[in-house]
Amino acid sequence: MNECLLIYSYRSCDGVFSPSPGTLHNHSPTTNQYKFAGQHFVNNGEEDQMEIYGYRRSTAKSIATTALIFATLGFLQLLFFWKPELQLYMMYSRCTLDLATCVLLKNEYYQTFVSRVEILTFKSVKKSKSAVDDKLLELTETTPYIVPAGKGKFIPAHSIKVFDCCRARYWWNDACHGFEKIAGLGDDCDIEYFLEQEGLCKEEEIKRRRLFGENSISVEVEHVWKILWKEALNPFYIFQAFSVTVWFIDGYYYYAAAIVVISTVSLALTVHETRAQQKALRDRVHDVEVVQVLRSDGSVETVEGSSLVPGDIVIIPPHGCTMVCDAALIAGNCIVNESSLTGESVPVTKTPLNPEHENEIFKIRAQARHILFSGTRVLQTRFYGNELVKAVVIRTGFMTSKGELVRSIMFPAPVDFQFYRHTYMFVGMLAAVASCGLVYSVALRMYRAEPWKSIIIRSLDLITIAVPPALPAALTVGIVFAQRRLKAAKVFCMSPKTINISGTTNLICFDKTGTLTEDGLDFKGIVPADGGRFDQMVDSAATMERGPLLLTMTTCHSLTLINSELSGDPLDLIMFKATGWSLEEPHTEETSKFDLLVPTVVKPKKRQGDDEELSEVGIVREFPFSSSVQRMSVIVKQLQEPTFQYFCKGAPEKILTLCRPETVPHDFYEKLESFTRKGDRVIAMAWKDLGSVRFLKIHKLKREDLEVELNFLGFLLLENRLKPDTAQVIHSLKKAGLRSVMVTGDNIQTAISVARECGIVGMTEDVQIVTADPSKMTWAWTADMTQEDRKMLSRELAEGRPDDKIHLAVAGSSFENIRKFHPEGLKKMLLEGAIFARMSPFEKEMLIDCFKDQGYFVAMCGDGANDCGALKSAHTGISLSESEAAAAAPFTYTKGSIRCVPEIIREGRAALVTSFGIFKYIACYSLTQFVSCLMLYWVGTNLADWQFLYIDMFELTMLSITFGRTAAYKRIVKDPPPSSLLAFVPIFSLVMHLIIVITAQVVAFVLVQQQPFYINRTEVLSFLNTSKKDESHEYRCYENYAVFGVSIFQYIWLALAFAKGPPYRRLVLTNTFFMATVVFFCVFDVFLVLFPTDFIAYHFQLFVPPEMNFRGVLIGIAAVNLVCSLILEFFCIDFILFKRAGKHVKWIRSSTYLGDIEAAIRQKMDPHWWTKIEISPSKPALHLPPSIASHTGFMEMPLVDPSASFGTTASSSFLGGPTDFPILPVSSSYGSGLVLVNESENHAHSAHSHPAMEMPSNVTFEELVEVIPLLDPPPSYERESSRDSARFLEPVSREEPSSSEQQPTVTFVREASTDDDETAAMLGTPSPHPHVEYA
């Protein structure tokens, strides 16, 4: 069979596009675009896209593999348990998907899943235990199944081929020769399909349930024995079992028994914790609801929520309910609390699907305002007369929004962190060292003609020493203590491994509303407009005269009453409450006076002499807010008026396009920008009188017909205030050298203002707004610094304190174009971008992925479902909400403030440094013990049972546990912590410590043999009147005493050396438990070496030298070892290598510096793209709109074509008079500009006589992004190009050239924002000293 060719759709930032799936292509599979050619995909183009391969069983392979399983005593089967895909490779053969009996799936994280393909037939139905199937079997005997046929239709089928993976079911579609997810109804149906639904019959419901399954989000709580079995087969416990077996055979009974006890306790705790987590998740997601379903015959049936299927029509009760499925509303309105998904407790009004859009394709994201999502709570319904509130079920079970969330929790993305990868590599290196020791041991014992049993057991014992079985447990110590400290600070961590990753964070993305700023808004005032002019701002809406502006504020909203409490959008609430009016939702009998069906009524507070009834206003029809049109509107009727009125409010840019030009003030944009630059939320309002329209026609009018020729009314101003600690936290992050970025759905000017206010952007730092379409990118100065700010900036720069940082701001639509069409521009955005506004949830997630692709370690802090995708995608997701959507984030903070961000980073750094130190400690401990055993093997002995027990169970365990109790340092420093185990510094540290350890042990080993009292091991056994077979004296000798006496101190010294303090952890002296442990073992070890009692000497098998002086010498060797270890780690490693050399020599570093990442991005940028217009892949074109080109005082010149060359002339009033001069359009890293070439020096002086170039008042924002008028430098300052922006330096004196030496002077009409070398390259001249003027 010819398989259809699917091309992978990249989720990357390189701008490469893949053709749509299902298209046959004949390209080379070696190119990036087609490297997956010939492979199949399921969920193509979606977030959970996976590669799929078909396999079927091979008889020959199966027989051979079964023989291998027996030959390896079942070890091969154990490998299959750990890696199921290995069994597929060894027992199955690749085949086309239509013949497959098993499938292998790989996701974007290279995780693999193996699923068995089943063919469901009528026999499968008979085997089903469902009571419904048994009762109604005869109804479906001929065609027991149905399969999707597209457009919401289903066709009967005798059988269906399916497989299940990650709680999703896939079916074989013969039409496209591939597997497709069984999701539900939706993206291929039009709206008319849902509006025409009348309910399902019983037979259809049964067949659909067989296809879609039960409507339940079931989280299995596994049996204790099943969990125990799975955990016991973990590689860690398998290696423990192997080690314990070797130790028992070798006679280490006490030590082996202790390990068995500890492992059993660890297993029991793991099983208990796993079951507790499964129960908690099950209880959290399990909903039991009884619902009413409308059948095709018009009857209403009460059923359990688990029996719902896509296509059922459910009736929403008036008192509300909890939704157990995703359903599209087709009749009536619902007030819904979606806090479980979005984190916002504000009730949302859901309206039915609009029949006017019946021909549009139904998209869940686009139609979200009409969908009741699973897990949300319907508070109440609103309906007309006796009409039922109905909704069509579109998705059930794990395919619902809530189910997808639970799936993301059950099957999380793997934690891909360099430190963890390196631990596995390092364990491999230790295994290689153990192999060398194994060869040494075997060769030595064979040379001595020892029995084979002794050779095998002692050699295997070396492996258990060199590869520490306690390593995985030890690595969690720092994480456990950090998690406890975070919990005490009300920060809850769902994924403990993420704590270490958070320590590497160097870029933090913040949502704005509810994260940096308060959730609510404050009413600031109204700016009325009348006769094409703005009036003075009104501070109180309650004092306004009744008129269209006041009526817009009182009626143009979606507020409702829930339990007599006014509820709705916070903006609407603030606006309405500011008027002092009241809202009522009358009973049906009260609506006759409006001739309407149950309108919402608003009225002012009753005043003496007023007729309350005549002052009422009824809201006849509401057009809800839509993010696509960015506005909402209503039709209202006043009792005293015979006509209907239409009121509209929304984004100023959108409202402007709907209004009559004569009603819009000429300074509209000037006013708008003045407010947005202050951080105000600006809402524009407009209205018109509809005249005497009949009521029936009102409900048939289309929105687009109403929204024309409106009268502009003015602006509503609201304040969005920063949270009290926002600025302080941003300042602390900035001081620590961490980059902060704002990612918001709000207006770009408002976002820039908030960014300045909170410190993400400095008050005097330049911000450029970037806009892009598929063909070009443009940069525009935001012009939001006051003249005072600019004067202050000039003074600071003149005083030698330049801040040349340039920030870029971009809106979501432009970011998408940059991501897709401008790969070089994307690098610049990721490097300099600080404000990403008007970002959709998908765009937020893509931005996080782009940052990650460039090497940043990204944290995302948000408060709602809008940030859910970004929270999951980031290395460190921090949610400020306790909603179910927030469960996808590793961290949750319950106090709703970003002050948790530095706390998490501090604890992450402390945990990472602790894990780093613990790993080095455990590795050195293993190698230290390994060296001890190798040396003792030379004289035919080893460490005794109690010696192993003391070292491993007491010293190692107690030091490792208390090691991680050191708290995090009080502040975040600029230097990031180490994150690479295989870098030069940690490898050098381990090697040098190992050299010190070996030297100390060798000195003790050799020194004891030089003593006059020394006798060899054979003589010792004779002296004790025993033999080698006597286990109580098997290992006693002077070498054992000397090596053991020195090594027990070495384990303490290594712990002290690796227990790092500032700047990531507090001083180790503050860790009282650790220091007490160190002191205790130091005292006890001195006692063991100098004054061991007979009882201790017998059980530890110590053969104590008779001379006390030699015992003291061993203490002295240990003391020298301590001094050397501390000097090496704290002076040579930390101070010289890490702090000094590491800042200058890149290959020495074991940390990831933010500067290194940014330098790598700059290095990857193509310099030709910025400097050579003709080869630029996205050539920034210069365009001057007529209103700018003709504006007096700005530039009086004809429109300039980007390809214009020298000789085109123009005149400029700000250059000292109307003088013609040649112009040249150029492009730089910040967009387009004009180069003006003056033949006269006088003109150059005239250019400097005007310190600022003002924008004309009638320039629109769209025009602003095309031309970039920036500040010209004062004449007394020289300008130097630094990075990408120009800055002022020290005053310079200028010499007047003689007239004979005059040469053309090139002056930028905008602030230079590119390197002067680039400018010179564009002009075709040599690169001079970097001045604005080139002579």
- Rounded CA-CA distance 992/496 in Å is 32
Tell me: the pLDDT tens digits for 518-529? 876 788 999 999
- Rounded CA-CA distance 1335/1330 in Å is 11
Per-residue pLDDT band for 883 (boundaries 50, 70, 90) equals low
Beta-ladder partners of 1208: 1206
Which CA distances in Å does 913 have to 50, 93, 375, 979, 1065?
36, 47, 41, 8, 8
Tell me: the pLDDT tens digits for 283-342? 877 777 899 999 988 899 999 998 999 999 999 988 888 899 999 999 888 888 887 776
Mean of pLDDT values over 263-271: 84
Mean of pLDDT values over 385-407: 87
- Nearby residues of 12 by Cβ (< 8 Å), 6 or more positions away: 849, 853
- What's the burial of 199, exposed, middle or buried (CB within 10 Å: 0-12/13-18/19+)? buried
- What is the pLDDT at residue 135? 54
- What is the pLDDT at residue 1190? 34
Mean of pLDDT values over 56-74: 93
- Contact of 784 with 753, CB cutoff 8 Å: yes
Per-residue pLDDT band for 1046 (boundaries 50, 70, 90) equals very high
Q: Does residue 969 have a pLDDT over 90?
A: yes
Mean of pLDDT values over 855-884: 84
Q: What percentage of the chain exceeds 90 in pLDDT?
A: 32
- Rounded CA-CA distance 733/727 in Å is 10
- What is the pLDDT at residue 1025? 67
- Nearby residues of 1008 by Cβ (< 8 Å), 6 or more positions away: 1014, 1038, 1039, 1041, 1042, 1105, 1110
> Tokens in use for 928?
């230290």
Per-residue pLDDT band for 1006 (boundaries 50, 70, 90) equals very high
From its phi and psi, is residue 284 left (phi > 0), alpha (psi between -120 and 50) or beta? alpha
Residue type, 1144: H
* Residues with catalytic function: 511
- Contact of 827 with 1165, CB cutoff 8 Å: yes
- Rounded CA-CA distance 1066/932 in Å is 33
Q: At what angle do helices 452-466 and 235-249 cross, to 10 degrees?
A: 140
Residue 366 CA, chain-centre distance (Å), reads 23
Side-chain half-sphere CA neighbours of 861 within 13 A: 32
Residue 533 CA, chain-centre distance (Å), reads 47
Q: How is residue 1135 annotated by DSSP?
A: I
- Rounded CA-CA distance 338/348 in Å is 7
- What is the pLDDT at residue 137? 61
How far is it between the farthest Cα atoms of the chain?
123
- What is the pLDDT at residue 92? 95
Q: Does residue 1257 have a pLDDT over 60?
A: no
Tell me: the pLDDT tens digits for 461-502? 888 888 776 777 777 888 889 989 999 999 988 888 889 999
Which CA distances in Å does 992 have to 328, 799, 985?
68, 49, 10
Q: What is the pTM of this model?
A: 0.73
Which CA distances in Å does 1054 have to 978, 981, 1089, 1130, 1282?
18, 17, 19, 12, 47
- What is the pLDDT at residue 460? 85
- What is the pLDDT at residue 647? 95
Mean of pLDDT values over 337-366: 79
Mean of pLDDT values over 190-211: 89
Identify the three-state secondary structure at position 624: strand
Kind plus residue range of the DSSP H or E element containing 647 = strand 644-650
- What is the pLDDT at residue 1184? 33
Mean of pLDDT values over 1202-1206: 35
- Rounded CA-CA distance 892/874 in Å is 14
- What is the pLDDT at residue 1123? 96
- SS3 per-residue string spanning 1001-1039: HHHHHHHHHCCCCCCCHHHHHHHCCCCCCCCCCCCCCHH
- Rounded CA-CA distance 629/631 in Å is 6
Instruction: Quote the mean pLDDT of the chain.
Output: 77
Tell me: the pLDDT tens digits for 553-604? 999 988 888 777 887 777 888 899 999 898 887 654 443 343 444 578 898 8
First to last CA, the chain: 73
- What is the pLDDT at residue 1255? 37
Identify the three-state secondary structure at position 100: coil
Per-residue pLDDT band for 80 (boundaries 50, 70, 90) equals very high
**Pure H helices in 49-198:** 59-71, 75-82, 84-91, 122-127, 131-135, 191-195
- Contact of 57 with 92, CB cutoff 8 Å: yes
Q: In b/e form, how buried is each residue of 721-760, taking b as 16+ CB within 10 angstroms? A: ebbeebeebbebbeebebbbbbbbbbbbbbbbbbbbbbbb
Long-range contacts of 130-136 (CB under 8 A, 24+ apart): 132/206, 132/209, 132/307, 133/206, 133/210, 136/202, 136/203, 136/206
Per-residue pLDDT band for 1090 (boundaries 50, 70, 90) equals very high
Q: What percentage of the chain exceeds 70 in pLDDT?
A: 77
